[in-house]
Amino acid sequence: MPENENIKRLLTAISVNNDQAAYRELFILLHARLKQFAYSILKSGEEAEELVSDVFIRIWQKREQLENINSPLLYFYTTTKNLALNQLSKQKRQVNLSPEEWLVQVNSLYFDPEQLMLTEEMFRQVKKAVNDLPPRCRLIFKLVKEDGLRYKEVAELLQLSVKTIEAQMAIALRRIGKCMHFELKTAIPARAQTILKK
Amino acid sequence: MSQETFWILLSKKLSGEASLEELVVLENLILEHPEWQLAIQNLGEIWKYQPKKDQTEEEDAYMLHLQRMQELNVPFGNMPDQTPVVSMSGRKKMKRWYWAAAVLLVLASTWALLMKPFKGGQGQEMARQVSEITTRPGSTSKVELPDGSMVWLNAGSKLTYNKDFGKELREVTLSGEGYFDVTKMKDKPFIIHTSNINIKVLGTAFNVKAYPEDKLSETSLIRGSIEVTIKNRPNDKIILSPSEKLVVENDRVVRRGVVQKPVDAPVSPMVPMVAVNKLRYSPADSSIDEIAWMDNRLIFRNETMEELALRMERRYAVQIQIEADELKEMKVNGIFDQESVAQALEALKEMIPSINYVKEGNQIIINR
C-alpha cells in the first residue's frame, strides 16, 4: 500500500536526520485518524487531542528506533490504543473496555449524485445501515475503509483472526448492498467453490 | 459458492486484499451476472470516495503540539537543552489549550519569541516554523531544499531554514560542513549564514566548512560565483572565482570546553583574519581535496595530529585523546579512503612508529 511506503520514507528522514519537516508532515497525515481512534476509546475530544500529542512525543523521543518498522500504521494505532486504555485504567474508568464498547463513527460515506445511480433516500439508508452495524463490525469497517489499515493489521490491533476480519467486512458490505436492493437470492454454481478451497 | 463467500470476495476486492486467484474467480462470476453490474459499481464508488480535507485543522493542531512539547520540556532541535520529561503533571495545565482560533495567534507569537533567533539577531524577523536537519558523527546526509537545491551534509553538522525560504530570499543557517549545489534563481539570492560569515550565491556549487569548534572556516568554490561577507567586516565583500577558497579565522576558538584566543593574532580579536587560497587538487586523479569527504575520503596534508584527531572523531563517531603534547603538534600527511577506524589507527602507527594507541569501543587514547 503506497501510504505505508510514504510513512516509512518520512520515518527514515525523522530517524536519520532529525528532519522536523518530515515530522510535521507525519503529524498532519495521521493526526485526524489517530485522534478519532483515541476518541472512540476515551470518549472525550480534549483527552483524545492530548493523547495523540503524547503519541507524537513518543515518536520524537524514540525516533532513532523508528527506521525499520514493518507496519508503521499498525505501530501508531497500537501505541494509541495502549496509551488510551492505560489512561482509562489509571483514572479507574471503564476497566477492561472491550472494542465493542469503543465509540466508532464512520465519516467518509459520501456520494456524488452525478456519479452514482443512487437516490438520496437510498444513500441515507446506506449511512444508517453502517451506523447500525454491530459495534465490532463497524469498528473493523472503519479501520479498513477509512483509516487504511490492512486486514492483517486490524487483526493484530484487535487481537482477532484475519478470518474474522474478512467475515466482518463481508457483513458490512452485504448490509450496504441490501440498501441498494442488491441481495443474492440465487445460489452460485459450485465449480467456483473448488478453486476457492485452498 | 455461498453468498457469504461472494461477499467476502467482493469486500476483499474493494479493500485491496484479494489475491489474484480470488479476483479472477470474482470477475468470472460477475461476468455471468450482468444484472449485478450496476449495484457492484455503486458499491465500488461508495467505497472509494474519500472527501478532500483541507489541512488547516491539522496545521493548527501541530502548532499546539509543539507548544505542548515545550511546556513539557521535551527537547526538540533548536530549543535550549532540557532534561526530557513527559510528566503527568503537564496534563493538568493542558485543559486550557483546546481553544478557539483567536488564542492561537497569541500562542504562536509566544512560541516564536521563546525560540532562539537563528539569524544572528536581526530583530524584526521572528523565527517561525523552522526546518532543521542534523547529521550525527559518523554519518553524512543529502538534503533537498524546497527550491530544488541539494545540500550534502558532513558528519556532525546542522542545517536550518524556515517557512519563508524561497519567498523573497532563500536563507539557510549552517553549522558544520556542507556541499551546496544551488538552483539558479536570479531574483532570489541564496544566502548561507554561519557563525561568522555570510555567503550569497545566485546559482553555483561550493563547499562550506564552518564547524564552531574549529579554528578556521573555509568556503571553497567549485563552479559559478559567490560573494562572501564576514560578519564583523560588513563592508568587505569578497567574490570568489572557481577553484578558489576563502579561509576565515574564527575569532574565538573553543576546544573541549576551554576558550582560547589566537595567541599571535596581529589584528584586534573582534576582526577575524582572512585569506584567499587556491583549492588543492590531488595530483593522481585531479579530484579536489576540499570535497573529498563527499566520496567518503579524508585527505590530510600538513595537519597537526590534533586537527586530524578532530576530523577523525567526526568521521568515525569516536572520541580521541592525545596524551603527549609534542604528539599533538606533530604534522602528518595522508589519505583515509575506505579504512575503518582501526585500520586508520594502524596506518598512523606505521607513519609514526613511536606512537601507541589504546582503543576501547569508541574511546581511543594515543600516546608515545
Q: Which of residues 115-174 of B touch A (CB under 8 A)?
A: 129-135, 139, 141, 143
CA-to-CA separations, B100 to B61, B67, B96, B121, B286, in angstroms, rounded: 11, 15, 10, 32, 62
Residue B345 maps to which CATH number? 3.55.50.30
The total number of structural domains in chain B stands at 4
Instruction: Tell me whether B101 touches chain A (CB under 8 Å).
Output: no
DSSP state of B150: E
| Measured distance CA(B216)–CA(A94) in Å, rounded | 63
pLDDT, residue B121, reads 34
Q: Does B87 fall in a domain?
A: no
Closest CA to B293 of B318, B275, B313, B311: B311
Residue B272 confidence (pLDDT): 53
Q: Do A46 and B22 touch (CB under 8 A)?
A: no
Q: Which amino acid is at B354?
A: S
Please tell me which residue of chain B has the smallest CA distance to A166: B8
Point out the residue among B40, B58, B74 whose CB comes nearest to the CB of A31. Answer: B58
Positions in chain B whose pLDDT score sits under 70:
1, 49-52, 77-129, 202-203, 232, 234, 249-277, 281-286
CA–CA min distance A15, chain B (Å): 10
Phi/psi of residue A192, each to 5°? -65, -30
Please identify among residues 15-54 of chain B the ones whose CB lies closer than 8 Å to any CB of chain A.
Answer: 15-17, 21-22, 25, 28-29, 36, 38-40, 42-43, 45-47, 49-51, 53
Task: Examine residue B91 and state whether it is found in any structural domain, yes or no.
Answer: no
Instruction: List the single best residue of A18, A121, A152, A195 to mutate versus B (max B Cβ within 10 A).
Output: A18
**Which of chain B's residues have a Cβ under 8 Å away from the Cβ of A124?**
none
Is there a single domain that holds both residue B347 and residue B282?
no
* Residues B182, B310 within the same domain: no
Do the beta carbons of residue B32 and residue B65 sit within 8 Å?
no
Are B233 and B328 contained in the same domain?
Answer: no
Q: Which residues of A touch B9 (CB under 8 A)?
A: 196
pLDDT at B261: 36
Distance from CA of B323 to the nearest CA of A (A): 34
Q: How many cross-chain Cβ pairs, A to B, lie less than 8 Å apart? A: 161
Rounded CA-CA distance B151/B134 in Å is 12
DSSP chain A: -HHHHHHHHHHHHHHHH--HHHHHHHHHHHHHHHHHHHHHHH--HHHHHHHHHHHHHHHHHTGGGGGG-S-HHHHHHHHHHHHHHHHHHHTT-STT--GGGS----------TTT----HHHHHHHHHHHHTS-HHHHHHHHHHHTT---HHHHHHHHT--HHHHHHHHHHHHHHHHHHTT----S---THHHHHH--
The rounded Cα A119 to chain-centroid distance in angstroms is 28
Q: Which of A67, A114, A196 to mutate to test the interface with B (most CBs of B within 10 A)?
A: A196
pLDDT at residue B112 in the model: 40
Long-range CB contacts for residues B31-40, cutoff 8 Å, separation at least 24: B36/A182, B38/A117, B39/A177, B39/A180, B39/A181, B39/A182, B40/A182, B40/B10
Q: Is residue B11 part of a domain?
A: yes
Q: Helix, strand or coil for residue B55? A: coil
Contact present, A82 and A18 (Cβ < 8 Å):
no
A98 contact partners, CB below 8 Å, separation of at least 6 = none
All 3 cell numbers of residue B63? Answer: 502548532
Q: Please tell me the distance from the alpha carbon of residue A41 to that of residue A98, in angstroms, as a whole number.
A: 9
Q: Answer yes or no: do B253 and B351 share one domain.
A: no
Q: DSSP state, B280? A: P
CA distance A51 to chain B (A): 10
> Residue A185 — very low, low, confident or very high, per pLDDT cuts 50/70/90?
low
Residue type, A143: L
Cell of A87: 489512561
Residues B135 and B237 in one domain: yes
CA distance B1 to A196: 9
Helix (H, G, I), strand (E, B) or coil at B141: strand
Does residue B324 form part of some domain?
yes
Other C-beta atoms lying within 10 Å of the C-beta of residue B73: 16
CA–CA gap between residue A109 and residue A138 (Å, rounded): 13
Q: Note whether A148 and B73 are within 8 A (CB).
A: no
Of B116, B120, B290, give the one whose Cα is nearest residue B195: B120
Q: Find cell 585500520 and name the residue.
A: B343
Looking at CA atoms only, how far is residue B256 from chain A in angstroms? 25
Cβ atoms of B287 and B281 closer than 8 Å: yes
Q: Is residue B36 part of a domain?
A: yes
Number of other residues whose CB lies within 10 A of the CB of residue B363: 11
Burial zone of B56 (CB within 10 Å; 0-12 exposed, 13-18 middle, 19+ buried): exposed
Q: Spell out which residues of chain A touch residue B22, defining contact as CB-CB under 8 Å.
A: 196
Domains of chain A: 2-97 (1.10.1740.10), 100-179 (1.10.10.10)
Q: Which residue do the cell numbers 507496519 mark? A: A71
Structural domain that includes position B73: 53-82+97-116
Say whether both B183 and B196 belong to one domain: yes
What is the C-alpha R_g of chain A? Answer: 19
Question: Does one domain contain both B193 and B315?
Answer: no
Read off the C-alpha cell for A58: 513518543
Residues B274, B303 within the same domain: no
Whether B34 maps to a domain, the answer reads yes
CB contact under 8 A, A196 and B22: yes
Kindly state whether residues B178 and B284 are assigned to the same domain.
yes
Question: Per the domain annotation, does B227 fall within a domain?
Answer: yes
Residues B144 and B285 in one domain: yes
Its pTM surpasses 0.80: no
- The residue among A182 and B169 whose pLDDT is bigger is B169
- With the C-alpha atoms ordered B3, A109, B16, B45, is the resulting torsion angle positive or negative? positive
Here the cell at position A128 is 444508517
Smallest Cβ–Cβ distance between A18 and the set B9, B45, B132 belongs to B132
Across the interface, whether the CB atoms of A117 and B4 are under 8 A apart is answered no
Same-domain status, B70 and B207: no
A117 confidence band (pLDDT: 50, 70, 90): low
Which of B295, B327, B348 is at the close of a domain?
A: B295
B241: in domain: yes
Burial status of residue B122 (CB atoms within 10 A of its CB: 0-12, 13-18, 19 or more):
exposed
Please state the rounded mean pLDDT for residues A69-98: 88
For an interface test with A, which of B65, B76, B99, B157 has the most A Cβ atoms less than 10 Å from its Cβ?
B65
Q: Comparing C-alpha atoms, which of B143, B181, B146, B137 is closest to residue B159?
A: B143
Residue B367 pairs with which residues in a beta bridge? Answer: B356
Neighbours of A150 (CB within 10 A): 20
Closest residue of chain B to A144, computed from CA coordinates: B15
Choice between B54 and A18, residue whose per-residue pLDDT is larger: A18
Amino acid code (one letter) for A40: S
Pairwise CB contact (< 8 Å): A32 & B53? yes
User: Are B170 and B61 part of one and the same domain?
Assistant: no
| DSSP element (H, E) containing B144 | strand B141-144
Nearest Cα residue in chain A from B58: A28
User: Which three cell numbers, joined as nine digits, stand for B274?
Assistant: 582572512
Distance from CA of B74 to the nearest CA of A (A): 8
ipTM over 0.90: no
